[in-house]
Structure 1
């Protein structure tokens, strides 16, 4: 399994950083060739499921996910934590999104992920981790910049 960690500090209140990262359809706006479909009623809660479909034509695959921890931050700088379980045939693993108080009233975002990509041997886990860190790092940066 490939693991990676992203950390960002942004000039946003915790609830706004959280909103920008956990509005699932917005992820399609920042990840190329991806569409996100939420399959359960809103608002997001433990048990919310969504599918990110990535690729083109016959080379596309589904990445179904389920929210297993949902603790939004409070207006009083209480940290927030979301855990997603990836349950697809092509990609398995989990992701955690955490927003914490940072210096000067800023939000500190910590994104942890563990990926297992089907048909990719474990010897390539470091490469998968580097690619994941790059792709998700760009997505997180863009999500946090989008109002």
Structure 2
């Protein structure tokens, strides 16, 4: 099992930062070979199921995640979303937090605990480095594009 944390400070309002990070289908545009679906459809709330399907053909797998905490920012307060990974391959959780930052900017904290079933712990270092790179790039792309 690996855990990692990504932090960004962006020149966007709190609510726009939240919208960009929690518009789930956009994650598929930011992560290679991935398509994201949501059930039920918008709006997101506790109990919403977000499924990221990654890979090609028979080498694809689903990463279903249930939203267990949904607290959008309101009136300048922090926002927090927690997703519990419920798949057969990928387990763990992810949290996306947005909060007011310096100079009208927004601070983003993305925390994740990740376990890939059947992957020996000897690969934890590689999994952590790869996850940080993939998710870091995805967060950057999500925050850059409206």
Q: Which runs of 5+ in 2 are unaligned?
A: none
**Contact 1:4–1:130 at 8 Å: present in 2 too?**
no
Corresponding residue of 2:9: 9
Corresponding residue of 1:96: 95
Describe how 1:1-147 pairs up with structure 2 within 5 A.
Answer: 1-74=1-74, 76-147=75-146
Aligned to 1:73, the other structure's residue is in SS state: coil
Aligned-pair CA distance for 1:123: 2.2
Aligned to 2:20, the other structure's residue is in SS state: helix
Aligned-pair CA distance for 1:41: 3.1
Q: What is the count of residue pairs matched by the alignment?
A: 146
Aligned to 2:28, the other structure's residue is in SS state: helix
Aligned-pair CA distance for 1:144: 0.2
Separation in structure 2 between the aligned mates of residue 78 and residue 50 of structure 1, nearest angstrom: 25
Aligned to 1:119, the other structure's residue is in SS state: coil
Displacement over 6 Å in runs of 4+ = none
Separation in structure 2 between the aligned mates of residue 22 and residue 42 of structure 1, nearest angstrom: 11
Aligned to 2:76, the other structure's residue is in SS state: coil
Separation in structure 2 between the aligned mates of residue 114 and residue 128 of structure 1, nearest angstrom: 11
Q: Give the TM-score of the pair, scaled to structure 1.
A: 0.97
Q: Which runs of 5+ in 1 are unaligned?
A: none
Q: Give the TM-score of the pair, scaled to structure 2.
A: 0.98
Separation in structure 2 between the aligned mates of residue 121 and residue 17 of structure 1, nearest angstrom: 36
Separation in structure 2 between the aligned mates of residue 25 and residue 45 of structure 1, nearest angstrom: 15
Q: Cα RMSD between the aligned structures?
A: 0.7
